[in-house]
Structure 1
């Protein structure tokens, strides 16, 4: 276990609340806490058993009471950081919390850096790197599926797969090195045949993981989704229905939405960064023209376009232009106002595009369930629903897996070229070390510092 300075920070969000927590961690955590906390029972926290809650008061250097509090005592190694940890649960007012934090600094702690508590949990062996990164993913999860993916990473489901592959590769390296040490056995061909099969098996596992990368990234960061259409087709109504609140202004006046409105929406468990854009049409209004330009830009940038048309009206030149705009893009065509007599039908739309068409009504909610199911199916595109805990969830993880796969491919080429066993071992060791970057076993201090610098203070 790493010994380090004692640190402290406020571990709860800013603002007023029922409680606010000051977290202290390090070899002097108990003495620092004892300097600012007086237990009602008269015992010191150093005398208190681990995993106990103690009622008392926060006091300053003169003994004046700052706040009532409960101290949670977690002695090493039975704590988040595997160090001595004390959490002072105060009332959630900003002044009392800041005063308590300042008193811990006066007592010998220093201000924690961003992510330093979790960094210590990693350095002390409680979490590997992928689990540590999952802590912030868990905090930032926007849907139940996002939460499930983060929780799976935190509990080691993802890193367990990586560790299993590393063990297999290490076993192959040991087998090769044994064969190199005893060349008189003349078993090169037998060894390479067995290793070739194992390498192919591991590459298949990596490819299967990489197939989840796009879905994992969307579940973590959200899918940028643009709602486009001409004015008054129900774009803002669609956004309000998906949000289940009146977020966008809805009127019968064309051009009400002049700028883009962005919100996160939970659609069938998938987080969408959904953007309600200005109606696309020709206009002399300078402000509205800027909004239309932005709508076109979002259509180019979005990972998914929801193109909305009024099914109760005939298609216009503006509608035809929008159909041209979304051709070749990831898009869904929505025929709104299905509760009214149909003038434009889904067959008419299918004659013009091969994109999927969904009749719906933002007024009654008819058809929205089918749209949500289709969006979820598109996002998962073959990835196993329920297996989110093992998904690749960011570009860095995917890039490391691709590099590891490249080293394994090199090992197969080396075998095919009938080169020496030591050359195969070099390629396999490169793959083993590369996979270790995912768990933090083969990364440098600079990479570790960069990762934890993105955390919030107090975590």
Structure 2
């Protein structure tokens, strides 16, 4: 149980309509009583829970600091399961700081990063997956990433982990009976139904692990590089995808010399799209730096849009770029189809298909977006709304440990080795699942998870 009281500014710093100072802990109402005079003239501690109350904040000299609205939420039905007070004051750098300083002088401690959510976890209000979902929700860039965060916040992953643990616990109970009561003469190490439990846990862990790449892309975005030789229309393509004139477009080759990065929403998937300098040999020092950056970005990209000019024949530069990208996840873009076609794309054998577009005329842009979506999103996930998707590498790692432990159990049974080894691997599998929900956790792990939060959350 945590006994001190914390406070922090929970709204972004800067000028705005309102600023919120949040207080949580046993002394929340005591502090409020010292600094707040309700317009209703009620005693602060008599204010009903889940009410908003108008009044004035005063300092130690009884000077008015601000006119405010105060939300009172009494334990245990609050975010942290402690008494919570939220002071809605006028927004601005100075006003909110003055209100926070007043609260701290009267008995609160400044909250650490993510400490409100950490208290919600420690006090049993949420598990660790839900705490992580809060952070993901705050950072969501698209509707689809919001949807995944809300599923996890709702407890869908926690429920799934508990189901997997229940199946493993049934197996563990049987193994313990065999080990503790050898006189019972149970020869079969695992009945068929319990062996099926292990297979089911293994399969479901595998499904969740396989969903991670898609989940990561939905959460963090797809790093996408537009590459090609100079003057094939890379910047025009970026502008068409953005629906705005972001990059300079001219007929002069080598106009783009640096990297231009933007985020666009492609059917709910954030696309971190980068327009690179045209790759070619050049004596221009500045352009050459841009070309080298382009080559580096190809290596780091999750997806490459390889743009070629349909109105010209294939050049040595096209082939050199193709050799660099052919082993990546690549989408071929045949641009300038509004002009006479001269290209023969049969040279690009490892690229399954090319999308014909005219970036200048905004033709074929939707086809690109559809192809990007189909290329990176699993159809099973899209078509099955009940299928869980994980987005956190910590969860993936723990599921992999669980899966490896169950694989060891299968090998132990096949080799006829002692039952004690099965018990050891079952414990590792259960502990790994418990790490996901935070039932087993270390201070270092919790510090790592909550250090990514803002102070007021």
Q: Please give the range of the TM-score, normalised by the shorter of the 2 chains.
A: over 0.9
Is residue 43 of structure 2 the alignment partner of residue 44 of structure 1? yes
Task: Check if 1:353 corresponds to 2:352.
Answer: no
Deviation at 1:358?
0.7
Matched residue, 1:395: 393
Which residue of the partner structure matches residue 444 of structure 1? 442
Where 1:230 maps in the other structure, the secondary structure is: coil
TM-aligned CA deviation for residue 190 of structure 1: 6.7
CA distance in 2, matches of 1:47, 1:343: 82
2:408 is aligned to 410
Structure 2 residue matching 1:191: 3-state secondary structure: coil
Structure 2 spans left out of the alignment, 5+ residues: none
1 CA distance for matches of 2:449 and 2:387? 20
Distance 1:319 1:203 in 2: 46
- After superposition, the C-alpha distances for 1:145-180 in whole angstroms (9 at most, x for unaligned) are 111111111111122111110111112212222333
Q: Distance in 1 between matches of 2:298 and 2:402?
A: 35
1:219 aligns with 2:218: yes
Q: Assess if the C-alpha contact under 8 Å between 2:175 and 2:189 holds in 1.
A: no
**1:387 shift after superposition:** 4.1
Distance of 1:69 and 1:44 partners within structure 2 = 16
Residues 1:250 and 1:228: Cα distance change in structure 2 (over 3 Å): same
Q: Please, which runs of 5 or more residues in structure 1 have no aligned partner?
A: none
Q: Deviations over 1:27-70 (max 9, x none)?
A: 11111122222211112332111111111122222222222211
Alpha-carbon distance in structure 1 between the residues aligned to 2:373 and 2:109: 46
Q: Which moved more, 1:214-223 or 1:190-199?
A: 190-199
Structure 1: how far apart are the matches of 2:297 and 2:171? 50
Give the equivalent residue in structure 1 for 2:198.
Answer: 199
- In structure 1, the residue matched to 2:134 is 135
Partner of 2:96: 97
Question: How much is the aligned-residue C-alpha RMSD, in angstroms?
Answer: 1.8
**Could you list the per-position Cα deviations for residues 294-352 of structure 1 after superposition, in whole angstroms to 9, with x for gaps in the alignment?**
111111221111111222333333222222222222111101123333333xxx22443
Check whether the contact 1:212–1:383 (CA below 8 A) recurs between aligned residues.
no
Partner of 1:433: 431
Q: 2:9 & 2:179 partners in 1: Cα distance?
A: 56
Correspondence 1:145-184 to 2 at 5 A: 145-184=144-183
> What does the per-residue CA deviation read over 1:124-151, in whole Å, with 9 as the maximum and x for residues that have no partner?
1111111101111101111111111111
Shift of 1:85: 0.4
Query: What SS does the aligned partner of 1:335 have?
Result: strand
Distance 2:348 2:443 in 1: 56
Among candidates 374, 377, 383, match of residue 374 of structure 2: 377
1:89 Cα offset (Å)? 1.1
1:8-407 to 2 correspondences below 5 Å? 8-189=7-188, 191-344=190-343, 348-355=344-351, 356-385=353-382, 387=385, 390-407=388-405
Mapped to 2, the partners of 1:11 and 1:137 lie a distance apart of 17
Rate the CA distance shift 1:218–1:447 in 2: closer, same or farther, 3 A. same
Change (3 A) 1:143 1:389: farther
Q: Tell me, in whole angstroms, the C-alpha distance in 2 between the residues paired with 1:191 and 1:400.
A: 25
Per-residue CA deviation, residues 88-118 of structure 1 (Å, 9 max, x unaligned), is 1112111100100110001110100000000
Residues of 1 paired with 2:307 and 2:293: CA distance? 17
CA spacing shift, 1:352–1:208, aligned 2, 3 Å: same
Q: Give the corresponding residue for 2:6.
A: 7
SS of the residue aligned with 2:45? coil
Deviation of 1:431 after TM superposition, in Å, equals 0.4
Q: Secondary structure at the match of 1:219?
A: helix
SS of structure 2 residue aligned to 1:390 = coil
CA separation in 2, counterparts of 1:48 and 1:301?
56
Displacement, 1:279?
1.2
SS at match of 1:126: coil
Q: Distance in 1 between matches of 2:386 and 2:223?
A: 20
Partner Cα separation in structure 2 for residue 126 and residue 333 of structure 1: 49
Deviation larger for 126-135 or 187-196: 187-196
**In structure 1, distance between residues paired with 2:310 and 2:301:** 24
CA deviations on 1:342-372 (whole Å, 9 max, x unpaired) are: 333xxx2244323121111223332222211
Label 1:240 to 1:278 Cα distance change in 2 as closer, same or farther (>3 A): same
In structure 1, how many angstroms separate the alpha carbons of the residues matched to 2:240 and 2:7?
44
The TM-score normalised by the length of structure 2 is 0.95
**Equivalences, count:** 455
Q: SS at 2:46's partner residue? A: coil
Indicate conservation of the 8 Å contact 1:45/1:73, yes or no. Answer: no
